[in-house]
Amino acid sequence: MTRALALLLCALAAAAAAGCGSSGGDRLTVFAAASLADVLPQVDPAPGYEFAGSDQLATQIREGAGADVYAAASPRYPAELFAEGLVEQPRVFATNRLVLIVPSGNPAGVRSVPDLAGPGVKLVIGAEGVPAGDYAREALAALGADAVLANVVSEEDDVRGIVSKVALGEADAGFVYTTDAKSVAGEVQVIELPPEAQPQIEYLIAVVKGSARHAAAEAFVQRVLGPGGRSALERDGFGLP
C-alpha cells in the first residue's frame, strides 16, 4: 500500500473514531459530508466530527442523533431538514466539481465517459441518494450516456468509498469530487468532464435546532464562512460561493 493511500485510510479511520463518541459532554459535534473530512479539521480541530454520506447523516439527525452542526455536499438534505424544522437556515459555503478518476496506469484504457460503456469496464459510483452518486447520474444523463450504468459494479455509501476502490485498483473508474481526487493524486489519474456534463455542486452548512451548544455551533459556522475557513477550502481545492 502506498503512502498516499495509507494516509487516506488512516484519515477515514480517525474520522470514524471521532464520530463514534462525539455526542456527549461539552464537545461540539459536527456531522459533515465525507468529502469534507480533510478540510474541516483544518478549519477547527476541536469538534468531534462524524463524516459520512450527506443522506446518512440527515437520516441520523431525523432520528435524534446529537449533532450540533450539519454540513452537506448537496442543497437537497439541508433544505429538507430546514423544511422539517430540524435545522436553522442553511448557508452555502463551498462549491466543487465532479471528475472521473481511473487507477494510476489506467489499465482499462478509459479516456472519456463513452469509454465507460466498454465491455468489462468496472465502474464504481455513489449509491442513489448519496450526493456524489446523484451528481454522477446527472452528468451521465446530460451526456446521454445512461447505458454506462450497466457497468457499475459497486454503489458506495459515500465518496471516499469510491476513491478507495479506484485507488486500490478494485475498479477501473469512478466519479468523485476534484477535491477527493487531489487526496490520492499519486494513485489515480483525473479525467475532466465536458462542461455540459458538469453539475452544479454546492455545500451547505446549518446549525441543528435544539443544540445544547448553540453558541459554539454558530461560532463554528462563522469560522467556516469566515476568512480562515475560506482560505482552507481554497487550499483544499474547493470553490467558493
Is the model's pLDDT at 94 over the cut of 70? Answer: yes
Phi, psi values for residue 60, rounded to 5°: -65, -40
In a domain, 38, yes or no: yes
Q: Round to whole Å and give the CA distance between 26 and 76.
A: 30
In a domain, 187, yes or no: yes
Is the model's pLDDT at 13 over the cut of 80? Answer: no
Q: What pLDDT does residue 59 have?
A: 98
Residue 25's pLDDT band (boundaries 50, 70, 90)?
Answer: low
In a domain, 59, yes or no: yes
What domain range is 190 assigned to?
98-197
Q: What pLDDT does residue 72 have?
A: 98
**One domain, residues 206 and 186:** no
For 120: left if phi > 0, alpha if psi spans -120 to 50, otherwise beta; the answer is left
**One domain, residues 167 and 134:** yes
DSSP 73: S
Average pLDDT, the chain: 91
Is the model's pLDDT at 104 over the cut of 80? Answer: yes
Exposed/middle/buried for residue 46 (C-beta within 10 Å: 0-12, 13-18, 19+): exposed
In a domain, 240, yes or no: no
Q: What pLDDT does residue 8 have?
A: 47
Rounded to an integer, the average pLDDT of 166-178 is: 97
Q: At 42, which helix (H) or strand (E)?
A: helix 40-43
Q: Calculate the CA 206 to chain-centre distance.
A: 16
**One domain, residues 108 and 145:** yes
DSSP 87: B
What pLDDT, in 10s, does the model give residues 62-90?
Answer: 999 999 999 999 999 999 999 999 999 99
CATH number of the domain that residue 133 is part of: 3.40.190.10
**One domain, residues 8 and 89:** yes
Total number of domains constituting the chain: 2
**One domain, residues 108 and 180:** yes
Is the model's pLDDT at 199 over the cut of 50? Answer: yes
